[in-house]
Amino acid sequence: MSGANAPSRKPDRAQPVNPAGSVEGDTDLPSAPPPRLVLASASPRRRELLALLGVPFEVVPADIDEARDAPSPSALVELLALEKARAVQALHPSDVVLGSDTVVVLEGRILGKPTDAEDARAMLAALRGRTHEVTTGLAVLSADRAPLVTSVTTEVRMRTYSEAEVGAYVSRGWDADGPLDKAGAYAIQDAVFAPVEATTGCVCSVVGLPLWTVRRLLGEVGVEAGAPSLPRCAGCPEAGRTSG
């Protein structure tokens, strides 16, 4: 209807809009995106393990001086994991950052990465046929809460391998599962040298990342990860832990 006799029409009442751009009172607001995860490690094995949890992540290796004093192996790896995570968080302040560090401990003596082939031989000779501990420290940093820091220790018993086997393994140097970039100069997952006879505790922690513990910590900062998919993880003693 038009013309002078048409009834007047009140203008539509504007609906207030919040700063995010959605209409107030709208019950179908989009949820906030999950925080992005960053792994503060250059380790290929840690990357492979973390991928098993089904969470997208970015890799940003931390560059820190790892020469530190600490009252115990667990305190040392927790400190180094935290410092790695903090170094990367400085570059990614709004993300969730996961740091990790692993040491081998034989009768109270910490065995880090060997300095050269002869050092690797010496470490493997010291470990031969004996039980030692492997401790991995974890630190998870998130912008909206205090750091989460913990460590996991596994007992490892080595088999009595021969000098010839040690020589062949050490000659592999820097290859994927070779000794020169591994704490204690061995990779538990290496199927050729196969240095380990038995373990008590989390095997993934010996490789470099205790998956059940990582999953729990990530959940505490809002990163929902799936259960570890490796068959050995089903019977891991860390699977039933919910805190600590």
Could you tell me if 141 and 38 are in contact, meaning their C-beta atoms sit under 8 angstroms apart?
A: no
**Whole-angstrom Cα distance, residue 152 to residue 80?**
14
Strand partners, 97: 38, 141
Q: What are phi and psi of 44, to 5 degrees?
A: -60, -35
Helix (H) or strand (E) holding 148: strand 145-158
Which H/E stretch holds residue 216? Answer: helix 211-220
Q: Which residues, other chains included, contact 240 with Cβ-Cβ below 8 Å and sequence gap of 6+?
A: none
Cα end-to-end span (Å), the chain: 74
Half-sphere exposure (CA, 13 Å, Cβ side) for 192? 14
- Which residue in 101, 177, 181, 190 is the catalytic one? 101
Q: How far is CA 102 from the centre of its chain?
A: 11
Q: Does the annotation mark 101 as catalytic? A: yes
**Complete DSSP assignment for 58-93:** EE-----------SSHHHHHHHHHHHHHHHHHTT-T
Active-site residues, by number, are 101
